[in-house]
Structure 1
Amino acid sequence: MRNLGIALLLAATSSAALAQPATRPAQPPKLLIAISVDQLSGDIFDEYRPHFTAGLKRLSGGTVFRNGYQSHAATETCPGHSTMLTAKRPASNGIVANSWIDQSASRQDQVIYCAEDESVAGSTSTSYSVSPIHLNAETLGDRFKKLSPASRNVAVAGKDRAAVMMGGRNVDQRWYWNGQIFATDLKARPTPAVVTAFNVGLTTALAVARPALAPPPLCSARARGYDLAPGVRAGDHRFERAAGDLRAFRISPEFDGATLALSAGLIQEMGLGRGPATDIISVGLSATDYIGHAYGSGGMEMCLQVLALDRELGDFFAQLDLSGIDYAVMLTADHGVMDLPERLRDKGVADAARADPALAASEVGKRLAPRVNRTDSVLKGIGIAGDIWIDASLPAAERSRVLADALASYRAHPQVFAAFGRDEIMKVAMPTGSPDRWSVIERIRASFDPKRSGDLYVVLKQHISPIAVPSKGYTATHGSVWDHDRRVPILFWRKGMAASDRPEHIETVDIMPTLAALLGLAVDARALDGKCLGDVEGISCPAR
């Protein structure tokens, strides 16, 4: 855990202690750090905020918007990351889900992964060629390099899709975990020496077993085991890891420590924050998400993870302080999470349950097939609920019949809140105003792209988990229209800022225009979904 992160951090960097400026300077920072903590919901942030002692405590002493929103319905990793530094919602930037179905695809696999280039020979949705080709928007780093070509744009993340969606197209370095090492899709770029050394050091460190963590009383109080399926238990895991178990490494606090250590190493070797223009590094921390999926958000595991994240960020910032670099930080999350329905019921949420497997698109489609003289399913989907596609091979009249019957079937199910057809969704104007007040169909509209989204959209009732049958590593999830998945913290920090807790309900698409103002980058507000936040100290928003 923390010891691994510190060891790798110190091995990757060597900075002389330099004096930090006593107060925040008026000019733009020399280094901008954009951090995403995958699955750090507003609820988790609020619960643990009183217990922060290090990095998250520091950031909480800046400008804190506790009511930030991934305002759209597609509360998944790829859409969430796509909004942060583009100021575009998924309906505008094209990243409508982690994956979608393209029935016109020439390959046999018609599932398209958000961060792949499916035109590359041999690429599939599970073994893909990493690419930003599907992101129909410029990131902050893309835009700033146009203004200042000397600026460096770097992305490091636990997931490739996080690094791609935050970094964009014009990146100098992009590194992400590929299951074995930190890898890149930018094969033509020289590999920094620190990356090679880091991967060697990480492999060596992971070859040594890790004992179980000793939980503090705060976390012990949350330890209650739930046996969810044969061999699937959650609630009281302490992150012991066998030697060489890379999967256990990924689903542990160690993972974020390694990501931050590599980020610090790249900052040092590349001299980020020491050039003629502001440099930007995007850091995607993925452990919270993997731990939340494996064990839920309400047990001892999440407690251990959040406290470790706080300490790891503290170590990372302390290393930056030693460098003397003038840096600013933004931290947010790509989505929230719904806890285990079993634990929610124990907490008094009586209607919490797992979805009926019969709601899967393939199952509903099989039941509807005989009505149009078919034997195979006439519906296609990824998981339960969300976007559903009608078999494109059906004649138009039969497609209309299937749509009407599918909507009726879903709407009649007691676990379904609503189901909408494509035309109904597209008639809705793009929502405006406070995101906590949007209707359900407005939330869907904000992440609906008619070129990529389904023919209908199914919404489960709140507290119904789309995971019908828990499995190892997948017991809890997100992806719904409900606020436990939408509400995320948005934090801005720079040395010398006064603490400010803001009550406004804002969107993650507001981040990029705000950071652009900090950097002196002019953006056309009319072409964006987000707005500059004038309540962040040190940021002067342009006149509207």
Structure 2
Amino acid sequence: MFKRVAAALLLATALAPVMPVMAQSPAPTAATPTTVPASAPKLIVAISVDQFSADLFSEYRQYYTGGLKRLTSEGAVFPRGYQSHAATETCPGHSTILTGSRPSRTGIIANTWFDLDTKREDKAVYCAEDESQPGTNSNDYVASPLHLKVPTLGGRMKIANPATRVVSVAGKDRAVIMMGGPTADQSWWLTPKGYVSYKGIATPPLVARVNEQLAARLAQPNPGFELPPQCAAKDFAVNIGAGQTVGNGRFARDAGDFKKFRASPEQDALTLVLAAGAIESMGLGKQAQTDIISIGLSATDYVGHTYGTEGTESCIQVDRLDTELGAFFDKLDKDGIDYVVVLTADHGGHDLPERHQENAMPMEARVDAALTPKALTAAIGAKTGLTGKKLIWGDGPAGDLYFDKGLTKAERAKVEAETLTLLRAHPQVQTVFTKAEIAAAPAPSGPPESWSLLQEARASFDPQRSGDLLLLLKPRVMSIPDGTKGYVATHGSPWDTDRRVPILFWRKGMRHFEQPLGVETVDILPTLAALIHLPVPKDQIDGRCLDLIAGAGDSCAQ
């Protein structure tokens, strides 16, 4: 029998005696609906649930009893939010949430892009690294906010009032950096050694205590979680090949298995422990100014990649996320903090094709390995006679492709022509845009649900960092060729499965409403800025303020 690891247990053991037990409590009852208070909240809590698609949010909505229940039944609900750009990856998505800007303005066009002019041997550039550091590469790097071109909300708040405290915690460094920005007072992300920050930053007692408890938890095996009733129908194994299956797991893990800890509800619970402890130990929301904490909950993404989005694993994860958020909000309520919450996601996600094929979608497929940059180089080399040369650089069988800088002008023209011909004839390719085509397109506007693929591509385009070609696969083509050699599923496409995310706002006493029309994650910054009366020039961002007052009144005009 698998045991259910309760929120109260983890929260009690993780920080005692640094902070009190965050016991589970019944779902909060709705406050008497009023309007959004005119006074500025003392604390902004910005939560990104990595890979929490609008589909996943809606699928389990009827079962929420904890923190997600509070947000959906008492707050302003935008179930059709959009990470409106084409490059629906973790780093670009997080860069939009608290900057009010699309990747074309933030400069964060992908998790990894290529700089063929760099002197280091590794030409790949990780979005949250400083590639100028000697001896580093895109997998072994020094974390840095160097590549983020615009300020975050916390950065703007600090400019307006230097007393503002800005804290960012997450399961991933790119979530911390893109939401907290370069001027955050505290930035902590999870590694196998515990939560770490930038090189040279001393570890405060709170973080040291959390890391001790992480080590203690990892030293013990986890027999797993009980299966909630709503997950019973999903309890069957799916064969992904090579004798491997997913779909009916409970997150059981052996002692010391950090990889399984990371891809489980245990990770988010610990990140929320650190966030709650930071709020209490730093007194966030307790002074005259408004403070901000951004929280990147990364487990849903690791679960989606490792097991897919439609098995017992994902179902349990969402159930535990709801419970842990409920305990976290209860702790803030108990401390009497006047806070506002926004919860969204950096991107959506797509389930593995093998389960889709079993569930009424036989057309689902994995991408042809012939579309990988290595295979393209071989094929184009054979067609052009340029064999033995590196012709095409890229991070996978979709997204940005770069032509090698060592090609002559004539060679490059031949390579580009042959590559376009090959790709456009491939049955799994939706379209291929050239750099010139994207650069010539105007910046997108209007409802994000009606954008063309070219408009989505333009929203992700940076003239210095984007590739020479942008390869977009057809819908229902999983961009992982083989699910048995690592992750089974992923995101990154320009389709709504990956673009659509929920956007939820909550503050005590506000009147609940739901707006099903499309909005963008870049609308979050101006919406929050209006609540704290922080002017943000419209020409510096891409988003617009969303009115959070149901009925008469306008929170954007306060």
For the residue of structure 2 that corresponds to 1:58, the secondary structure is: helix
Go from structure 1 to structure 2 and tell me whether the alpha carbon gap of 1:472 and 1:395 turns closer, same or farther (over 3 Å shift). closer
Paired position in structure 2 for 1:225: 237
Residue identity in the other structure for 2:344: T
2:298 to 272, 280, 286: 286
**Cα-to-partner distance string for 1:78-116 (whole Å, 9 max, x where unaligned):** 000000011111111100000011101111111000000
Measured in 2, the distance between the counterparts of 1:408 and 1:536 equals 53
**Cα-to-partner distance string for 1:274-295 (whole Å, 9 max, x where unaligned):** 1221110000000000000001
Measured in 1, the distance between the counterparts of 2:400 and 2:128 equals 18
Residue identity in the other structure for 2:452: S
Alignment of 1:315-326 (within 5 A): 315-326=327-338
Paired position in structure 2 for 1:120: 133
Paired position in structure 2 for 1:405: 418
**Cα-to-partner distance string for 1:270-315 (whole Å, 9 max, x where unaligned):** 1111122111000000000000000110111110000000000001
**Cα-to-partner distance string for 1:368-418 (whole Å, 9 max, x where unaligned):** 114153323411111111111111110122112211111110111111111
Residue identity in the other structure for 1:79: P
2:555 to 523, 540, 543: 540
1:341 to 328, 350, 353: 353
Residues 1:27 and 2:33 are matched in the alignment? no
| Farther off after superposition, 107-116 or 120-129 | 120-129
Residue identity in the other structure for 2:288: P
Go from structure 1 to structure 2 and tell me whether the alpha carbon gap of 1:201 and 1:34 turns closer, same or farther (over 3 Å shift). same
Measured in 2, the distance between the counterparts of 1:162 and 1:536 equals 29
Residues 1:138 and 2:144 are matched in the alignment? no
Paired position in structure 2 for 1:482: 495
Residue 536 (structure 1) shift = 4.6
- Check conservation: 2:381, 2:389, Cα contact below 8 A: yes
Residue 179 (structure 1) shift = 2.4
Paired position in structure 2 for 1:249: 261
- Check conservation: 1:12, 1:198, Cα contact below 8 A: no
Go from structure 1 to structure 2 and tell me whether the alpha carbon gap of 1:294 and 1:238 turns closer, same or farther (over 3 Å shift). same
Give the number of equivalent residue pairs. 540
**Cα-to-partner distance string for 1:406-458 (whole Å, 9 max, x where unaligned):** 11101111111111111111111111000110011111111011210110011
Paired position in structure 1 for 2:164: 151
2:121 to 98, 101, 108: 108
- Check conservation: 2:224, 2:253, Cα contact below 8 A: yes
Paired position in structure 2 for 1:176: 189
Residue 362 (structure 1) shift = 1.4
**Cα-to-partner distance string for 1:481-538 (whole Å, 9 max, x where unaligned):** 0000000000000001111111120110010011111111000012211111124558
2:372 to 360, 363, 387: 360
Q: Unpaired segments of 5 or more residues in structure 1? A: none
Residue 184 (structure 1) shift = 0.5
RMSD of the TM alignment (CA)? 1.9
Residues 1:380 and 2:380 are matched in the alignment? no
Residue 6 (structure 1) shift = 4.5
For the residue of structure 2 that corresponds to 1:132, the secondary structure is: coil
For the residue of structure 2 that corresponds to 1:175, the secondary structure is: strand
Residue identity in the other structure for 1:225: A
For the residue of structure 1 that corresponds to 2:234, the secondary structure is: coil
Paired position in structure 2 for 1:97: 110
Residue identity in the other structure for 1:540: S
**Cα-to-partner distance string for 1:247-289 (whole Å, 9 max, x where unaligned):** 1100100000000000001111111111221110000000000
Measured in 2, the distance between the counterparts of 1:5 and 1:462 equals 41
Residues 1:191 and 2:206 are matched in the alignment? no
Go from structure 1 to structure 2 and tell me whether the alpha carbon gap of 1:289 and 1:416 turns closer, same or farther (over 3 Å shift). same
Measured in 1, the distance between the counterparts of 2:309 and 2:22 equals 39
- Check conservation: 2:37, 2:510, Cα contact below 8 A: no
Residue 200 (structure 1) shift = 0.8
Normalised by the length of structure 1, the TM-score is 0.96
- Check conservation: 1:75, 1:485, Cα contact below 8 A: yes
Residues 1:296 and 2:296 are matched in the alignment? no
Residue 471 (structure 1) shift = 3.2
| Farther off after superposition, 352-361 or 21-30 | 21-30
Paired position in structure 1 for 2:451: 438
Go from structure 1 to structure 2 and tell me whether the alpha carbon gap of 1:56 and 1:6 turns closer, same or farther (over 3 Å shift). farther
- Check conservation: 1:150, 1:275, Cα contact below 8 A: no
Normalised by the length of structure 2, the TM-score is 0.94
- Check conservation: 2:11, 2:21, Cα contact below 8 A: no
- Check conservation: 1:158, 1:285, Cα contact below 8 A: yes
Paired position in structure 2 for 1:7: 13
Residue identity in the other structure for 1:382: D
- Check conservation: 1:416, 1:460, Cα contact below 8 A: yes
For the residue of structure 2 that corresponds to 1:221, the secondary structure is: helix
- Check conservation: 1:518, 1:539, Cα contact below 8 A: no
Paired position in structure 2 for 1:329: 341
Measured in 1, the distance between the counterparts of 2:376 and 2:470 equals 14
Seq. identity, %: 50
Residue identity in the other structure for 2:281: E
- Check conservation: 1:151, 1:275, Cα contact below 8 A: no
Measured in 2, the distance between the counterparts of 1:42 and 1:432 equals 22
**Cα-to-partner distance string for 1:93-144 (whole Å, 9 max, x where unaligned):** 1000000111011111110000001111122100110100000010000000
Measured in 2, the distance between the counterparts of 1:431 and 1:539 equals 26
